[in-house]
Structure 1
Amino acid sequence: MNRKTKQALKIILPLLLGIFLIWYSLESATPAERKELLDNILTADPFWVAVSFILGTLSHLSRAYRWKFMLEPLGYKPHFANNFMAVMVGYLANFGIPRSGEVLRAVTLSSYEKVPFEKGFGSIISERIADLLALFLIILIALVLQTEHLLAYFEANNINPIFSIVVFLLLIALGVVGLYVIKTSNIKFILKLRKMAAGLLEGMRSILKMKKKWPFIFHTAFIWIMYLLMFYTITFSIPGTTGMSAGAIMAAFIAGSFAISATNGGIGVYPVTIGAVLLLFGISKQSGEAFGWITWATQTLVVLIFGGLSFLILPIFNRKK
């Protein structure tokens, strides 16, 4: 299998999975259930959807601002607008090719702010580690609040967060071993990799060199609080999800966070996953899936609007460069 075929499959297969789940979810429902689902979506309170949209936007603005704390120790002070637009084009790229956004984000900053790709990408990796720790903290709180329901869902859907954590730690260990091999080898090809790895490692170390660690922690907390509030406010838009417990909200939020990476932007998987989790808490399948669709659509709309505008505005904003 050649490289182009592999790249195409990475895009097409997750998209097909999402389309299949949409079809299966609708096909397995009765006409009355499909009507209820559609009615819930069409009659959702636009005020709370708008509030959720604003909260999502604030989280992205905070992410862009937080990034500067990691770039300053490297000697770079990019314009906030470029940081924000780089973040948004990265999110938009993930709808096409999953996980490509981080690469495009680093490339964008390299193009317009002359931040070396390796250093920019390394800072993004460190940033993701901080976000992963925040997610683990939310998982821990959710386990305390709703251990039985959350573990039942993970077991039913073969999701093992502990396994994911172990795999992640093993990947870090392999990365450390790989860096050691690159550092000690004298092979010409390895020497080229060493130069790239040095920049990448310097970018990753930026989180340890930050002078403004507390502002960084504040923005990390703010980003995830906005994520949770963006999710929570949608519950008020549908009668069937109003008054959900904190445990139900956090359980659905966590399951959605795992599901969204399964397809391009979570299409198909996200609402079905949210509906399945909320079913465990006594929320009807139609109300739960409608909630999932509205939440997913709101998050996606934020990315489509600001990501699309960023693609257009970036070259204009930086025309002098």
Structure 2
Amino acid sequence: MKTPIRKFLSLIIPLFIGLGIMYYQYSTMTTEQIEKTKISFLKADYFYIFLSLFIALFGYWSRAYRWKYALQHLGYKTKFSNDLMTVCVSYLVNLTIPRSGEISRAALLKKYEDVPFDKAFGTVVAERIVDMLIFLLFLAIGFVIQFDTIYQFLIEKGVKFETLIWLSISGFILFVLFILIWIYAEWNIILKLKQKLSGLIEGMQSILKMKDKWSYIFHSFFIWFSYLMMFYVTIFALPETANISFDIVVMGFIFGTLAVGFSNGGLGAYPLAISTVLFLYGIPEETGAAFGYLVWTSQTVLTIFLGLLSYLLLPILNKK
């Protein structure tokens, strides 16, 4: 398949998925529920929405600062302003083609700081691995504290818990096999792949070898702490969600994060996931939908604003 067609499909398919989810959610709600959703938007306390956006800025700052440690370990001293703006642009690009922001971040740093693309991209991949491990920690904690609710939900949906266990075990075994093959196999295809990915691997290994690895780890946890807090403070924007317990907030945060990968920036999928989780805990569907769209819309607007602003400022602030 030609590259332009592939790029077009990678953009349009997630977009149609998101729009389809939005249509599904809208079509399953009654006229009364839709009206109540509109009322929730009107009566929301937007002080907490703006507070969540303020907290989100710390996440952007911390992600850029964490990246600087990895780049310094590789011997590249970059301007923090360039690190921050490329991070902002990458968030914006991810709204178009999921996970494409990582490529744009490394490409922009190559352009403005002359950091080799493969090494910069390797540090970004390393970040994603660390982020995935921290998210899995959230997932494990949420699963433990809400085991009974999740188990009952799976039974009602006809999903056997034993099936999920076997799938998890199979996935873990395949992952271990892949690691063993990568380390010990002498196959030509593996050796050629290792050679092509040498810069990428160097960037990934920089975490374990870097001088400031504990600062790197601190920022990694702080990023996710800021994500959780900006989600948490938003519950106070609506009277119906203001009193939900923190463990429910954690579950909403987990499923909302998972939903982001289903469509462009979580379009449609994020609000549906949030409303579904809150409905399990007695929050009306229309209130959950309003809450989900409040969070998603505010964060998306911030992403677009910071991304466009950074894209415009990068060439201006880097004039030679």
The change in CA–CA distance for 1:48 and 1:165 in structure 2 (over 3 A counts) is: farther
The change in CA–CA distance for 1:233 and 1:105 in structure 2 (over 3 A counts) is: same
Query: How far off is 1:126 after superposition?
Result: 1.0
Contact 1:106/1:121 (8 A) holds in 2? yes
Query: How far off is 1:179 after superposition?
Result: 7.7
The change in CA–CA distance for 1:151 and 1:26 in structure 2 (over 3 A counts) is: same
The change in CA–CA distance for 1:121 and 1:96 in structure 2 (over 3 A counts) is: same
- Give the corresponding residue for 1:127: 127
Query: How far off is 1:69 after superposition?
Result: 1.2
- Give the corresponding residue for 2:308: 308
Contact 1:153/1:277 (8 A) holds in 2? no
- Give the corresponding residue for 2:74: 74
Q: Which amino acid aligns with 2:65?
A: Y
* C-alpha RMSD over aligned residues: 2.6
| Distance in 2 separating the partners of 1:154 and 1:271 | 20
Decide which moves more: 124-133 or 5-14. Answer: 5-14
The change in CA–CA distance for 1:25 and 1:57 in structure 2 (over 3 A counts) is: same
Pair 1:44 & 2:44 matched? yes
| Distance in 2 separating the partners of 1:124 and 1:221 | 16
| Distance in 1 separating the partners of 2:241 and 2:158 | 23
1:121-180: CA deviation from partner (whole Å, max 9, x where unpaired): 111111111111111111122122211223455674979699579658846854774687
| Distance in 2 separating the partners of 1:196 and 1:89 | 27
Query: How far off is 1:250 after superposition?
Result: 0.8
Q: Which amino acid aligns with 2:110?
A: S
The change in CA–CA distance for 1:111 and 1:260 in structure 2 (over 3 A counts) is: same
% identical aligned pairs: 40
Structure 1 residues not aligned, in runs of 5+? none
Decide which moves more: 281-290 or 145-154. Answer: 145-154
- Give the corresponding residue for 2:225: 225
Query: How far off is 1:311 after superposition?
Result: 0.7
For residues 200-279 of structure 1, what are the structure 2 equivalents within 5 Å? 200-279=200-279
- Give the corresponding residue for 2:145: 145
Contact 1:57/1:302 (8 A) holds in 2? no
| Distance in 1 separating the partners of 2:216 and 2:283 | 37
Contact 1:270/1:292 (8 A) holds in 2? yes
Pair 1:286 & 2:308 matched? no
Q: Which amino acid aligns with 1:257?
A: T
Contact 1:64/1:80 (8 A) holds in 2? yes
The change in CA–CA distance for 1:103 and 1:232 in structure 2 (over 3 A counts) is: same
Contact 1:126/1:204 (8 A) holds in 2? yes
| Distance in 1 separating the partners of 2:291 and 2:169 | 28
Query: How far off is 1:247 after superposition?
Result: 1.6
Structure 2 residues not aligned, in runs of 5+? none
Matched positions, count: 316
Tell me, what secondary structure is at the counterpart of 1:112? helix
1:216-264: CA deviation from partner (whole Å, max 9, x where unpaired): 1211111111111110111000111111111211111111111110000
| Distance in 2 separating the partners of 1:214 and 1:286 | 44
For residues 142-181 of structure 1, what are the structure 2 equivalents within 5 Å? 142-153=142-153, 156=157, 163=167, 167=171, 170=174, 174=178, 177=181
